[in-house]
């Protein structure tokens, strides 16, 4: 089978698609024939060597956090899935993998998958696994968005951003999207009540907001000051300056900046599928690449500036 692997830490050109033996599921595991995977920040950080404590320093390292596909076979003790079941899921982000989602087959624990939502293709579903679950956990669990609250989504055109705009709208929030001006019409169609150009809008010009969802990681202290009393802010960008702002916010004042590691199991994926099936959450796919072009997909991801997700069709 073909699988994408990291051969050394570095730029996208360290990625290789190689032929290896198909893995077999152990007890409590499922073998999935992968149809699509998406490119996520976690993938590029691992590839660049930013998560060596997790990935280790022994090569090759598998790449691809999420996937959609069909069950091939199950290991001992797995009773909820049968061959042919269509599923989506993700490998564990804090475990080392020599084969991950960007491969023709992947083995995962049965509690890391869930039935894929009906009505969307494998490519479309793959665009939502990590992005959608991250947005759902951020809004529902981390900040507890309530109906009628004012929400700012920074980096609204990215994978997590487009999902957060839609879910915040579905939860009854009044949504302001901060993104490139050329994405204004598309973000409005996704549910944003207001779309502001990030290149010309400063934090001092907007707000106040009850909730801020940040995917950028810069100027967090300035945006934190735009929260209402009792307002909540969550960021998924964990750069050095972002970590410093999070630490300061936990000591000074009530407007704490929250963060989390999105590591959804089947329960979150089930809830996410319900949002997709109901039409509250739609996939936003910017581009699709074959597995053999995964390095090109990583390059495109790191350039940024797109609307939605880069997806790998396997």
Q: Give the mean pLDDT of 108-135.
A: 97
pTM of the model: 0.92
* Out of 148-162, 194-208, 226-240, least confident range: 226-240
Give the pLDDT confidence score for residue 56 in this predicted structure. Answer: 87
Distances (CA, A) of 278 to 89, 120, 160: 19, 12, 19
Amino acid 237: pLDDT: 79
pLDDT at 200 over 60: yes
pLDDT tens readout for residues 289-310: 999 999 999 999 999 999 999 9
Domains identified in the chain and CATH numbers: 2-127+283-313 (3.90.180.10), 130-258 (3.40.50.720)
Structural contact between residues 147 and 252, judged by C-beta atoms closer than 8 angstroms: no
pLDDT tens per residue, range 15-60: 999 999 999 999 999 999 999 999 999 999 999 998 888 888 999 9
261 pLDDT above the threshold of 80: no
Which tens digit of pLDDT belongs to each residue from 64-75? 999 999 999 999
Range with the lowest mean pLDDT among 20-34, 201-215, 241-255?
A: 241-255
Give me the pLDDT at residue 254, please: 56
Residues with Cβ within 8 Å of 200's Cβ and at least 6 positions away in sequence, in order, are 181
């Amino acid at each position: 089978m073909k699988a994408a692997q990291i051969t050394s830490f570095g730029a996208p050109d360290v990625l290789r698609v190689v032929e290896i033996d198909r893995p077999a599921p152990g007890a409590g595991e499922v073998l999935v024939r992968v149809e699509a995977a998406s490119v996520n920040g976690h993938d590029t950080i691992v590839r660049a060597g930013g998560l060596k404590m997790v990935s280790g320093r022994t090569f090759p390292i598998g790449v691809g956090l999420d996937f959609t596909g069909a069950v091939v076979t199950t290991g001992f003790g797995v009773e909820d899935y049968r061959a042919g079941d269509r599923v989506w899921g993700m490998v564990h982000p804090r475990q080392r993998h020599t084969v991950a989602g960007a491969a023709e087959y992947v083995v995962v624990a049965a509690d890391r998958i869930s039935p894929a939502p009906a009505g969307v293709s494998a490519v479309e579903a793959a665009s939502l696994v990590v992005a959608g679950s991250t947005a759902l956990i951020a809004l529902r669990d981390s900040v507890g968005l309530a109906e009628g609250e004012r929400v700012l989504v920074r980096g609204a055109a990215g994978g997590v951003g487009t999902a957060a705009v839609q879910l915040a709208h579905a939860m009854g929030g009044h949504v302001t999207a901060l993104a490139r001006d050329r994405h204004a019409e598309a973000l409005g169609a996704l549910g944003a009540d207001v779309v502001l150009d990030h290149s010309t809008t400063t934090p001092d010009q907007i707000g106040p907001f009850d909730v801020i969802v940040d995917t950028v990681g810069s100027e967090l202290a300035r945006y934190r000051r735009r929260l209402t009393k009792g307002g909540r802010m969550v960021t998924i960008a964990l750069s050095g300056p972002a970590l410093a702002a999070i630490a300061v916010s936990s000591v000074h004042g009530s407007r704490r900046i929250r963060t989390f590691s999105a590591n959804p199991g089947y329960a979150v994926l089930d809830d996410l599928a319900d949002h997709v099936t109901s039409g509250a959450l739609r996939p936003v796919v910017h581009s699709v690449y074959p597995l053999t072009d995964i390095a090109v997909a990583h390059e495109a991801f790191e350039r940024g500036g797109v609307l939605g997700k880069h997806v790998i069709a396997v």
